Structure 1
Amino acid sequence: MANDQREKAIIAGSEEEGSLDELAALVESAGGQVVERLVLRRTKPDPAFFLTEGKLWELKKLVGAKDAALVVFDEELTPVQTRNLEEEVAVKIIDRTGLILDIFAQRARTKEAKLQVEKGQLEYLLPRLTGEGVNLSRLAGGMGTRGPGETKLEADRQRIRARIAVLNRRLKQVKANRRLQRAPRRRLSWPVLALFGYTNAGKSTLFRCLTGADVHVEDRLFSTLDPTFRRLTFPNQLETLLIDTVGLIRKLPHQLVDAFRATLEELYEADLLLHVVNLASPYMEEEYQAGIELLRELGLENKPFITVLNKRDLVQNEFTLLRAVRAFPHAVAISARTGAGVDELKNKIVAMLSAHVDRGAFFIPFTEGGYLALLHEKGKVHTEEYRASGVYLEVELPRIWAERLRQFRV
């Protein structure tokens, strides 16, 4: 760009597992321009400045030479380290957590997402009020200061805690509303599929490919914050509900994991997870592990899932493709952009939803007659007896449907 008005940033961190590449992508997503990288060795951080004396001197030289307005650290800084660095280097200092919170503040569109992001930002801000008080208003704009930062910088800790308490109550209501919204879906007895995976793996593109829905698709990190729901019917007439969820990232701030727990709860409701992985990423294995770690954190490690290796059209080496498919459980390689491999994915979904057969006894009251037809449609009825208030059946049917009708089991 001849006249680039973006905020100039220097990024600082280790080069392990592509951390600096990812941090650079985050800065670009936030609207900044990375002008230099300060590579740090893995050593014990200095409690006062995080950096060693030599690296601090090097950073000051880089800031002056590159006319940078901002330094972004890949690791989380303490409030003391942030304050000392800003005084020493004389530019704004933010860490990875502050940067990700800033991106979420830009992306939040719905009321729920804004509540979740505001809570995360205030929890991050609260300990950083120490020793600064109302002087935080000096952070006059740019990365790390958007969202509630602009309206809450003058607030003292007591007011911020009170605001967090209000947000917690509102998010609790959101959670209750979600339960109410799920009730009609449960009555439909449709299996639920949920897309999850690393940010920018192509979940929204796959969502659009499968459902034909006109959803927002963009080649940038965290383009989707709110879950999106669409009906999806397979060639064998199996009707399902497909959900797209918020993207993941390594070292996702715990404030956001907690704040977005209501959104991530959609994963609990899913009968089958589609773990979307960017096959073309040089850090594919690390990104895959980030998804697996989130499942463990949410207690969902035993939930059935298919690994969807997306963006196969960007992989030229067939050996790389074959090795990746063999390396991951239940893997299918596709291109959501071109549609290659999507039919194979659909067949695998149908097979996994139908694979586990269960046999049990059910009692359907006459007032719930619609479920009687469902049992006949989805299962193999061995016994059917009409009684005074309903119908008793012994049925063999896919476990997915047995689970959906468990309230009628006897």
Structure 2
Amino acid sequence: MEEKKDRVILIGASLGDKSLNDTDEASMKELAELVKTAEGEVVGEIIQNIKSIDPSTFIGSGKVEEIKEFIDANDITMAVFDSELSGSITRNLENALGVTVIDRSRLILDIFAMRAKSKEGKCQVELAQLKYLLPRLSGIGQSLSRLGGGIGTRGPGETKLESDRRHIQKKIEHLSDELSEIEKHRSNIRKKRTEDSIPVVALVGYTNVGKSSLLNLLSDSQDAYVENKLFATLDPLMRKITLEDKTEFIICDTVGFIRKLPHHLVEAFKSTLEEIKYANLIIHLADASNEELDKAMTVVNQIISDLNENNKPVLTVFNKCDIKEPPLYYQNMNTVNISVKEKKNISGLLDKIKEIIFSSKKKLKIILPFSQGGLLGLLYKTSTILYEESKEDGFHMEIVCDDEIYNKVRMYEVE
């Protein structure tokens, strides 16, 4: 039997400050997409202009009464707020409206709970949910007691969210320990990649810009999950890309970003997002056709800035250029325009990636004497072998290597 969809009213409150955290038509449209992704049905929406936040109901008692009338007349089962709510405001609103009330952060966490597939992803989501709910235990009412599931009830169930704070704190500590162990494993894999001298390219961007589609196209596979919904990808994917000239790099797809992304969620996913910090190149993939491109760019650039402690190069790639070209003020030496759908300028993108990640490497031809077997093994381990043939006078090779290896083999270089 198909689960009945929640009938949802969207509620936004605008302070009129034009900030990324304020509510406007674009953020409400995005909120509607989030509800759709969470398998709810949007029945109506209201944006209330306010001078300040009402400490009891956020939007004021008069507007609450108006919304209550709409809810009763339209068989609404849930109200979703675009702003983050405290536990006490949530309780007051649920009592006044008679329906479940959740905020944007809770909705995003709910979608992440739907999308998490790996053990790490599930741990990260549950940790973020518990950290979100812990300070709200005394305030959140109906949304915890609902039976039968629905939006806002996925992830840790009611038995795990009883009002025993010590129990929840213990669970948080346990999940944190689990994630630490997973991060150790991830760190070992990262170390192995470094030893193998394979460059890593991290793919980041706003949610639903085509990152997984680009990953599939570059790796010539259909492994990455692709769907026209927000946060279709949660768990990171890595693929080795081998080009025609035998140069190799690893591309890593990461979780998409969004306006008002809960801070505790970014914190919980830090181990996954660490790949950005250790990448040789960060590709910021943007949707050129997005009407809110400037705001999306600002959100992602801010998160990249926070995570890119090592100042790794960032290449901005505009996807969906078959629909619309990006504004001229974004176009410079570090931007590439593509269309994944039309496979437009993918070779240009690959050329730019190679130019950046191999800029500090040297390409040379050598004749390595047979007596240098140890050095040959080192080349296999650390360098890209473009050509190799055993002849009478030694191993004829064309390689791409870093400065350290170059200094070891430069005496064998030939024209």
TM bracket (short chain): 0.7 to 0.9
Distance 1:17 1:161 in 2: 38
Q: SS at the partner of 1:179?
A: helix
Question: In structure 2, the residue corresponding to 1:314 is in which secondary structure?
Answer: coil
1:142 to 122, 131, 150: 150
SS in 1 for 2:297: helix
Residue 377 of structure 1: how far off its partner (Å): 6.3
Partner of 1:276, secondary structure, is strand
CA distance in 1 between counterparts of 2:310 and 2:9 reads: 38
CA, structure 1 residues 136+6, in 2 after alignment: closer, same or farther (shift >3 Å)?
closer
Equivalent position of 1:331 in the other structure:
335
1:100-119 mapped onto 2 (5 Å cutoff): 100-119=108-127
The structure-2 alpha-carbon separation of the partners of 1:57 and 1:172, relative to structure 1 and needing over 3 Å to count, comes to same
Which amino acid is the alignment partner of residue 154 of structure 2?
Answer: R
Cα separation, partners in 2 of 1:357 and 1:92, compared to 1, 3 Å: same
Residues 72-83 of structure 1 aligned to structure 2 (within 5 Å):
72-83=80-91
Alpha-carbon shift at residue 188 of structure 1 (Å): 1.8
Counterpart of 2:10 in structure 1: which amino acid? I
2-structure distance, mates of 1:331, 1:239: 22
> Which runs of no fewer than 5 residues in structure 2 stay unpaired?
15-22, 363-371, 387-398, 408-415
Match of 1:345 among 343, 346, 349: 349
If the length of structure 1 is used for normalisation, what is the TM-score?
Answer: 0.84
Shift of 1:280: 1.1
Gaps of 5+ in 1: 359-364, 380-395
User: Which residue matches 1:361?
Assistant: none
The corresponding residue for 1:9 is: 8
Aligned structure 1 segments of 4 or more residues deviating by more than 4 angstroms:
365-369, 372-379, 402-406
Tell me the equivalent position of 1:370: 377
Q: For residue 312 of structure 1, give the secondary structure of its aligned residue in structure 2.
A: coil
- Amino acid across the alignment from 2:348: E
Which letter maps to 1:354? F
Structure-2 residue corresponding to 1:228: 237
8 Å CA contact retained: 1:11, 1:71:
yes
Using the aligned pairs only, state the percent identity: 40
Name the CA distance, whole Å, in 2 between partners of 1:118 and 1:314: 38
Name the CA distance, whole Å, in 2 between partners of 1:12 and 1:194. Answer: 36
2:277–2:310 contact (8 Å) kept in structure 1: no
Q: 1:344 and 1:42, CA in 2 relative to 1: closer, same or farther beyond 3 A?
A: farther
How far off is 1:321 after superposition?
A: 3.9
Aligned residue for 1:295? Answer: 304
**Structure whose residues are more often helix by fraction:** 1
Task: Determine if contact 1:186/1:404 at 8 Å carries over to the other structure.
Answer: no
Q: Are 1:209 and 1:337, in contact at CA under 8 Å, matched by a contact in 2? A: no
Query: Do the aligned partners of residues 63 and 375 (structure 1) sit closer, same or farther apart at CA in structure 2, a change above 3 Å counting?
Result: closer
Are the counterparts in 1 of residues 285 and 317 from structure 2 also a CA contact under 8 Å? yes
Q: In structure 2, what is the Cα distance between the partners aligned to 1:224 and 1:19? A: 21
Q: In the TM superposition, what are the counterparts of 1:68-107 in structure 2 within 5 Å?
A: 68-107=76-115
Equivalence for 1:174:
182
CA distance in 2: counterparts of 1:293 and 1:405, whole angstroms: 37
Name the TM-score, length of structure 2 as normaliser.
0.83
CA contact (8 A) 1:36 1:66 kept: no
- 1:272–1:156: structure 2 CA closer, same or farther, 3 Å change rule? same
Q: CA separation of 1:376/1:166 partners in 2, compared to 1, >3 Å: closer, same or farther?
A: closer
Using the alignment, how far apart are the partners of 2:103 and 2:143 within structure 1? Answer: 16
Partner SS state of residue 322, structure 2: helix
Structure 2 residue aligned with 1:122: 130
Match for residue 362 of structure 1? none
CA positional deviation for 1:177 = 0.8
Instruction: Please give the residue correspondences for 1:46-85 in structure 2 after superposition, counting only pairs within 5 Å.
Output: 46-85=54-93
**Residue identity in the other structure for 1:178:** R
Q: Distance in 1 between matches of 2:263 and 2:406?
A: 36
* Contact 1:9–1:35 (8 Å) recurs in 2: yes
